[in-house]
Amino acid sequence: MNLQNKKKLSYMHMGSYKQLLWTTIGDRLKYAAEKFPKNDALVAVWKKERYSYEHFYKICRRAAKGLIEMGVKKGDCVGIWATNYTEWVITQFSTAMIGAVLVTINPALRENELEYILRDSECQTLILIEKFKSSKYLDMFYNIFPEAKTQMPGKLYSYKFPNLKNVIVLSKEGRPGMYTANDVLIHGKQVSNDKLEKIQDNLDPDDVINIQYTSGTTGFPKGVCLTHHNIINNAYLVGENLNFTNKDRLCIPVPFYHCFGMVLSNMLCVNYGATMVIPNEFFDPFLTLKAVEDEKCTAMHGVPTMFISQLEHPKFDKVNLSSLRTGIMAGAPCPIELMKKVRNKMGIKDITICYGLTEASPVTNQTRFDDAVEIRVETVGKPLQHTEIKIISPDTGKVVPIGDQGEICVRGFQIMKGYHKKPIETKIAVDENGWLHTGDIGTLDQNGYCKITGRLKNMIIRGGENIYPREIEEYLHTHPDVIDVNVFGVPDEKYGEEIAAWIKIREKSKIKEEDIKNYCKGKISYQKIPKYIKFVDEFPMTATGKIQKFRMKEIYMQELGL
């Protein structure tokens, strides 16, 4: 074989001069409290609450001891079903201190989904809020666990939920069968510091500390099991790539129940002694912008739809965002035109793109704050430090040459321990060699930068040709009247699939379907021009802002009679 003619393969390992941290979440918080005791740790703007690291550490320890007194042991699951409360963050760190497993529950879930998660995880304790907007969490809980209305707090029993003993409501007033958050702190006075520290000394960084239930498109969600080591180091290395320090103040509009909020926001700040700023219990574009101004935030995280809604807000020009320098845009493909606006109009010059998935706790790739602008708007960066990446052919499983498209696979410290009680699904996701198969399609260049071109399941096959929606979306984003766009495939008798586009346009725009098609002609291949175009005000999405293309497809197929 002529080795000179052999193309370089799409594989890269990203090393680092920094070692991974070998510690637990509780000890990491202790480190921040000792080194930066007077720094703001947590500021809940909407609740007018402010905790220094010294204070935050003490209250987390008190809460941890309260849970111990309530019978929570290492390995027990503690579910939290709430929006972005300060108690959410306290729960995150207090459960980790005693080795309990935090089960993060999407506030958008309903009774049958809550029941599934409580039973699947065998939760020993559930923490919940009373209500949020039209969601009445107490009513939903009592509907699936009516026995709690006549039982004493801490002594719950139900044939349906044999493991669930404690329910804690985040309210000043108690409810039948439930403790309050203040009750937990009162219980904490009865446990000695020595007892807590003895428990902490027996924890291992490889212990599972969190179960994240992924929102599957079909069937019930799978519980992703993550460890101290996964979470701490993912946040630590992402922070290094943001050039984070104890001087930074991070505005967090993303929900805590997801890795974006819990790991890339809360844990990241604690790793560096930085400040967590909660603008509101749920995302509000203006309150987020106002929190940046009032708290002089240096960083902001968000998914693309969040940044779009802030940029389009009528009061956008009324707030001072000059303190911002960095942050993360992730959770969905980030259009190039949007990235340019975030840098130029919001002033977040050092914003980075993160890519990953819950099963990787969550980041596998990230652009760096000092990467050239072109790289930061066209790729998802290089692999995270201490991470391997390869691009394989979906057909053969072999690594493809540099520049060729294929499925992205990653291996490293951040890969989950597995899906909770699902060994078969775990083996499908993580192969025998430790590679996590992401299900995403992308390319790798000779410098290790990765481009995402689509999802395996979102790839459109039109007349035998593979078409990746991202390419079409990027082009349509250049139209001055287009705010956002999502492209997907719908069934077609002749070609197998045809291209559909849902487009959100500016309020006073007069643009029509034919104008969009004419804008595409001669600029992208004719077979990539959408056959079906629908103008919409909103897109169906998850609570974290992830677009649900499968829902668009279902809705549109019904509308079109396909």
- Exposed/middle/buried for residue 361 (C-beta within 10 Å: 0-12, 13-18, 19+): buried
**HEC profile of 274-309:** CEEEECCCCCCHHHHHHHHHHHCCCEEEECHHHHHH
Candidates 389, 273, 268, 279; CA nearest to 330 is 268
Domains in the chain (CATH in brackets) are 25-33+49-213 (3.40.50.12780), 465-560 (3.30.300.30)
Q: pLDDT truncated to tens, each residue of the chain (562 aa)?
A: 444 446 799 999 999 999 999 999 999 999 999 999 999 999 999 999 999 999 999 999 999 999 999 999 999 999 999 999 999 999 999 999 999 999 999 898 888 889 999 999 999 999 999 999 888 999 999 999 999 999 999 999 999 999 999 999 999 999 999 999 999 999 999 999 999 999 999 999 999 999 999 854 345 679 999 999 999 999 999 999 999 999 999 999 999 999 999 999 999 999 999 999 999 999 999 999 999 999 999 999 998 889 999 999 999 999 999 999 999 998 766 777 888 899 999 999 999 999 999 999 999 999 998 888 888 888 999 999 999 999 999 889 999 999 999 999 999 999 999 999 999 999 999 999 999 999 888 999 999 999 988 777 777 878 666 677 877 888 899 999 999 999 998 988 777 789 999 999 998 899 999 999 999 988 887 788 999 999 999 998 876 667 888 889 889 989 999 8
Count the helices and strands in the chain (H runs, E runs): 18, 29
Look at strands 387-392 and 249-251 and give their pairing.
unpaired
The size of the chain, in residues, is 562
Q: Does residue 272 contact residue 247 with C-beta atoms inside 8 Å?
A: no
Distance between CA atoms of residues 348 and 346, nearest Å:
6
Q: Give how far Cα 164 sits from Cα of 78, 83, 154, Å.
A: 9, 21, 9
Task: Assign 515 to helix, strand or coil.
Answer: helix
Supply the pTM of this predicted model. Answer: 0.84
Candidates 94, 67, 29; CA nearest to 276 is 29
- Exposed/middle/buried for residue 242 (C-beta within 10 Å: 0-12, 13-18, 19+): buried
Q: Does residue 319 contact residue 293 with C-beta atoms inside 8 Å?
A: yes
Task: Assign 208 to helix, strand or coil.
Answer: strand
Distance between CA atoms of residues 391 and 403, nearest Å:
9
Q: Does residue 67 contact residue 150 with C-beta atoms inside 8 Å?
A: no
Q: Does residue 269 contact residue 303 with C-beta atoms inside 8 Å?
A: no
Q: Give how far Cα 553 sits from Cα of 412, 486, 501, 549, 561, Å.
A: 35, 11, 10, 6, 12
Which H or E element spans position 48?
none
Q: DSSP character for 547?
A: B
Residues in Cβ contact with 514 at an 8 Å cutoff, skipping those fewer than 6 apart? none
> Amino acid identity, residue 63?
A
